Amino acid sequence: MHRTGRFPGSREALVTPNCLIIYRVALDAIEILAVKHTRQQYP
């Protein structure tokens, strides 16, 4: 649903103009890897 992440198997969702959520989808759960402000250096 969201764009492919910068790390293998991850996804990225831009929730607000300033908040980026990096997550991974497992078989039975969604694992939040990080929540970043868009001005923070990533990765």
- CA–CA dist 30, 28 (Å, integer): 7
Residues in the chain where the model's pLDDT stays below 50: none
pLDDT for 21: 94
Surface-to-core class of residue 22, CB atoms within 10 Å of its CB (0-12 exposed, 13-18 middle, 19+ buried)? buried
How many angstroms separate the CA atoms of 31 and 22, rounded?
9
Q: What Cα–Cα distance (Å) separates residue 10 from each residue in 17, 21, 30?
A: 20, 10, 10
pTM: 0.80
